[in-house]
Amino acid sequence: MTHFSLQDTLTFSPQFSCGVKISPKQEIQLHWGRYHQDLITIGTEEVILSMFDAWVTVPQYFPVMACTQYALSYQCEIRRHLELNASVFHKYFSNLVEYNTTKFSTLDPDFVNGTGMASGLELSLRGVLGPFQGWLSYTLSQVRKEVNGVRYPPKYDKPHDLDLIVNCRLSKKWSMGGRFVLSSGTPFTKIIAYSHQPFLSATNVIGCNEFPIYSERNAWRLPVYHRLDINFIKRFCMFSRPMEFYIDVANVYARLNVLAYTRDRQTWIQMPPLATLGIRGKLW
Amino acid sequence: MDSDAAIGDARDQGEIMVKRFLLLGISALFLLYGCPAGPPTGPDVDISCKLTMTSLLSSRDDTLYVYVSEWNKFSEHDRDFDYESIDNPYGDFWSVSGATVKIEVDGSSQLVEADTAKTPWQFYIHNWIYRYIVRSPEILPGQHWEISVTHPDYDSVFAETTIPDSVEFREFPQDTIRSDTGILRFSWNPADATEGYLPVLSFTAIRNDGMLYQREMLQEWNPEHRSGADTRSQKNCEIQYALASIMDQARLSIKHKNDLYPNPDSCECFYFQMDVFSMDDGLYHIELSPYRPDELSSFSVPVQMFSNVHNGSGVLAAYQRSSTPRIIIDREFFIDYIKEE
């Protein structure tokens, strides 16, 4: 139970989990829980690069945010050091509080509330396979928000998300690792056309404005995102202390992942290949 | 010894496999290098058949204009525009000719004529070469207007609105309007007369449902307007800008009676006229549009332009204007106020 002083509300957040071993190496788990939160970040769906997230409490005139979660998972030890996990989940968010992006005048509220849902399937395989160790995970999901009567996928919605992390020991001193990410493009609101409209004041027509016509909110998706990062590590000793010399290379094959499209039809590309090298260790 | 050898062989084979894997991987990286992203994906809309229709219904005008535009794939700023090759000399590539515009007022049809700007002046007033007009429209509160536009090359669009009622005014006893703060601010509510807000007790407005407009006017009278720093306001000699306020669906402005910059030494008192604009929903949203957060920044929030036009875009908007009796504001206050500047 939690008391939120601003809303003067006492919330009850029960959680229930149970598991059944159907064989020595297989287990099924069921989970249900209800959660509450009174902190939100001030940000909009359309902010491309968020330098920092400002956290504020939910305004007094809204109830605290609540989420109900259901999950069913299955675990299986395929063999020694190799484990498969599969789970399905569904979350329903009530009283989602969002920054009001259509606040035009001082009379409009700073925040509006809505609802949301997230459903999906998660698969993961982790363990050791020959000289490799790491994990492979895949998520199939759908996330939706409904605010001001508009239902849309939020900017972090990725229906398909594949993540592969592998580490490999090349020799006694050298090891390497890599991470490959493949995911659906994130949603954005596209300008689909331009048109002209007289600029009206209450008394007359005072000019002509070109204005963009947008698609439905977040109806479009950026191209598929994929990226490979690799790293090499060499272990050595210095002053009798274990040290590591490392080289990290992000976006190894310079995939031109799209960050955003600007209003003047330019395409902004995300990070180019980026190499970092250094030495790390404990000197004392 | 044999088992150690076997382990050693397995390790060697493992290392060979890893090296082959790495070699293949690095080769694949060269193939993938600079891999471009494809186009974005989404529900495409055939914009070539879409129209924008806009019209403002005003009882003050003797001609009603209906503007019909097409949707363009590119912004006018993107166009490599050849002004010499176009049919018209003024650079309007958006207006649409050949449309059939039907207007019905409470079910009765209005005569709509197609009109073309024939002189640069006619064009620059409206920025539309082709427009559709109704001469001497009778626009009265409570009327229901419907406008439909059909064209063989475009989808039909439709909009409707109801002419809003005008507001009624009620006079209250006049009060002294003074402030020690040097900033002239008005309030509808006498209780807010403190903190520098000046109560406008001589006047208030009521709506037809009897509710009073009593919202605070938080805008300050910006001294720049009076000192001439803003040339636009000085040119028109109106003292209305900083006091303009959007309240519910009405806009209020205060104008100097003579539309001249007031000379406090030659005035016995100041006459102000309150205009309350009753707006329909369309005009209210268009009036708000300058405050939209949608600026020309790539990081801005995309906000749809308000539209009440079905199957297209644009707006059909209407308003009524009501004027109050004059309001007399204490002359001495103004003289003191201006001298302090």
Decide if A191 is inside a domain: no
Q: Which of B163, B166, B171, B141 is nearest to B277 (CA)?
A: B166
Decide if A143 is inside a domain: yes
Please tell me whether residues B126 and B197 are part of one structural domain: no
pTM over 0.95: no
Number of domains in chain A: 2
Mean pLDDT is lowest, of A53-62, A190-199, B236-245, B249-258, for: B236-245
Please tell me whether residues A40 and A76 are part of one structural domain: yes
State which of B108, B141, B163 marks the end of a domain: B163
Please tell me whether residues B207 and B331 are part of one structural domain: yes
Number of domains in chain B: 2
Nearest CA in chain A to B51: A195
Please tell me whether residues B324 and B202 are part of one structural domain: yes
Decide if A68 is inside a domain: yes
Residue, of B294 and A37, whose pLDDT is higher: A37
Residue B284: which residues within 8 A CB-CB, separation 6 or more? B246, B249
Question: Which site among B44, B57, B127 would you substitute to test the A interface, given the most A Cβ atoms closer than 10 Å to its Cβ?
Answer: B127
Please tell me whether residues A142 and A229 are part of one structural domain: no
Nearest CA in chain A to B77: A264
From chain A residues 135-194, the ones with a CB under 8 A of any chain B CB are 168, 170-171, 176, 185, 188-194
Decide if B12 is inside a domain: no
User: Per the CB < 8 Å rule, is A202 touching B287?
Assistant: yes
Which pLDDT value is given to residue B31? Answer: 74
- How far is A225 from chain B, CA to nearest CA, in Å? 8
Please tell me whether residues A126 and A175 are part of one structural domain: no
Which pLDDT value is given to residue B10? Answer: 59
Lookup: tokens for A202: 């209450």
State which of B131, B163, B195 marks the end of a domain: B163
SS3 A123: strand
Please tell me whether residues A97 and A171 are part of one structural domain: no
Please tell me whether residues B236 and B215 are part of one structural domain: yes
Please tell me whether residues B158 and B185 are part of one structural domain: no
Residue A145: which residues within 8 A CB-CB, separation 6 or more? A96, A98, A114, A115, A116, A151, A152, A153, A154
Please tell me whether residues A166 and A121 are part of one structural domain: no
Decide if B31 is inside a domain: no
Check which CATH number belongs to the domain holding B81 and give it.
2.60.40.10
Q: Does the pLDDT value for residue A108 go beyond 70? A: no
From chain B residues 69-98, the ones with a CB under 8 A of any chain A CB are 69-78, 94-95
Tens of pLDDT, residue by residue over A241-253, are 889 999 999 998 8
SS3 A10: strand
Please tell me whether residues A174 and A242 are part of one structural domain: yes
Q: Which residues of A touch B35 (CB under 8 A)?
A: 253-256
From chain B residues 226-255, the ones with a CB under 8 A of any chain A CB are 246, 251
Decide if B239 is inside a domain: yes
| Domain of residue A73, residue span | 1-157
Q: Is the dihedral of CA A176, A247, B24, A259 positive or negative?
A: positive
Decide if B121 is inside a domain: yes
Please tell me whether residues A102 and A180 are part of one structural domain: no
Please tell me whether residues B325 and B189 are part of one structural domain: yes
Please tell me whether residues A93 and A133 are part of one structural domain: yes
Please tell me whether residues A118 and A234 are part of one structural domain: no
Name the residue facing B298 among A103, A170, A262 (closest C-beta): A262
Residue, of A89 and A210, whose pLDDT is higher: A89
State which of A157, A174, A206 marks the end of a domain: A157
**C-alpha separations of A7 from A10, A57, B330 in Å:** 9, 10, 47
Decide if A213 is inside a domain: no
The continuous run of DSSP H or E covering B30 comes out as helix B2-32
SS3 B225: helix
| Domain of residue B77, residue span | 47-163
User: Per the CB < 8 Å rule, is A253 touching B32?
Assistant: yes
Question: Which site among A104, A226, A230, A267 would you substitute to test the B interface, given the most B Cβ atoms closer than 10 Å to its Cβ?
Answer: A104
State which of B163, B180, B200 marks the end of a domain: B163
Identify the bridge partners of residue A191 per DSSP, sorted by sequence position: A214
Residue B21: which residues within 8 A CB-CB, separation 6 or more? none
Please tell me whether residues A259 and A178 are part of one structural domain: yes
From chain A residues 66-125, the ones with a CB under 8 A of any chain B CB are 101-107
Say how many CB pairs under 8 Å bridge A and B.
Answer: 183
Decide if B27 is inside a domain: no
Please tell me whether residues B128 and B188 are part of one structural domain: no
Please tell me whether residues A37 and A172 are part of one structural domain: no
Decide if B249 is inside a domain: yes
Residue B26: which residues within 8 A CB-CB, separation 6 or more? none
Tens of pLDDT, residue by residue over B36-55, are 778 888 887 889 999 999 99
Decide if B59 is inside a domain: yes
Please tell me whether residues A93 and A171 are part of one structural domain: no
Mean pLDDT is lowest, of A230-244, B10-24, B158-172, for: B10-24
Residue A207: which residues within 8 A CB-CB, separation 6 or more? A198, A199, B127
Tens of pLDDT, residue by residue over A168-195, are 888 888 898 999 999 999 998 888 888 8
Decide if A214 is inside a domain: no
Please tell me whether residues B116 and B136 are part of one structural domain: yes
Question: Which site among B7, B31, B75 would you substitute to test the A interface, given the most A Cβ atoms closer than 10 Å to its Cβ?
Answer: B75
Nearest CA in chain A to B219: A106
d(CA A227, CA B12): 31
